[in-house]
Structure 1
């Protein structure tokens, strides 16, 4: 399937989704909000890869939401219909939010390779990914504040769980640009690479390491980390116990030890496709 906003290649268990509108700084036009969850859900549901990498062509990762997306609906409704339009607009925002939630819910880890700017909704997207990596010229900016709105598609429920609350507040209140080095210092990114080329090579190397492990074990890790973030330690301990009681696969454990002793790459079964309807 072809996409208007990005290119998708799947090789050796790695799904590489590359934003492909560099002349427009990869801004998120209406088509993007439909295409991204379709692509991610397809990869996840049909077990088409073991790990997902997001990157971008051009100078910037993304300039964020294109103005065409939110210059409609409740914002330009006649005064007498303001409340009715606002109620409907809430569902429009929910649909946008679901786009990035698809990254969080994907069964596979999602790695973001960020160069140049990750602005506005680009921060929302980045915080929905499992891991973030940046080139030395990268910067992050909660731009919504600077244009007179409160970020609404994912920044606030996620940013303060990725970095300290104080830094999340400062980024949101000031709309300042946080450069790559500072982003690493405060925990927003895992690693900073010298160039765009080094960034992509480094992230794909990490993706390959993930793809080499048992997909069942890796998806279990993602499930547990997400669950632990949102629940108590006691609840999470109970959940991981139940998970392993049902899904601990002895064949994968045996294969990992045998492959190591035989000095070869281990071979694991992929996840099974998810059947959502009869």
Structure 2
């Protein structure tokens, strides 16, 4: 098997800007299989009444995020454990990596985008930060909800966005979780093709645009990682998986930004605070 190696220019790009696009990391058959597997789960959830359409946002509610199906489906698990994915990440961050979680996005037409945010604000990885691999399954661009990054912000500490921290659901909604000082700065739109992967640092300020197209979905699989040197993570994120698919655990991080202002760290568990993220 040929060793996966990134050129020095890619490493420099990632270290300077905080993100990197690798073209064609997944082939067309792998892309089609990921779409097929999640479609099967969507049909099962819909026919079983677990997905309920909301008339106010009919498409967005009909195609919600599907989280952590790498723990429930062996084919999705295998494609999430793709050796090249791990090899590139290990080269980018300098150590072996563990999967924290996965999220599948249909991003149907009319679906709202993600407000600007930093991933490790929620994950509470310590020491270090999270890393992500965003796998593009459809062509993506600004029109249909492509990814956006503020270059160089990966070197920032975790920022405290505006909002009421006593209300976790509001805090991670469009109104609450928005780093407004970066709205007028340099926000780069990143276009992708199916099979491309965007790697990015967990402290970089990023988000996505609304899907304003009439008929284009923007399907993607987002995998969050951390390095094996991690000692603690926030509640809900301690079902780690190594490159062999073996479960790994770390200690609970009770001293995270997201827990500030809460009566108890366990109130975060009840809040389902990812509900507003798309």
Same fold (TM over 0.5): no
Query: Shorter-chain-normalised TM-score: which range?
Result: under 0.3
Q: TM-score normalized by structure 1?
A: 0.26
Structure with the greater alpha carbon radius of gyration: 1
Higher helix share: 1
Bigger relative contact order, structure 1 or 2, given CA contacts below 8 A and separation 6+? 2
Higher strand share: 2
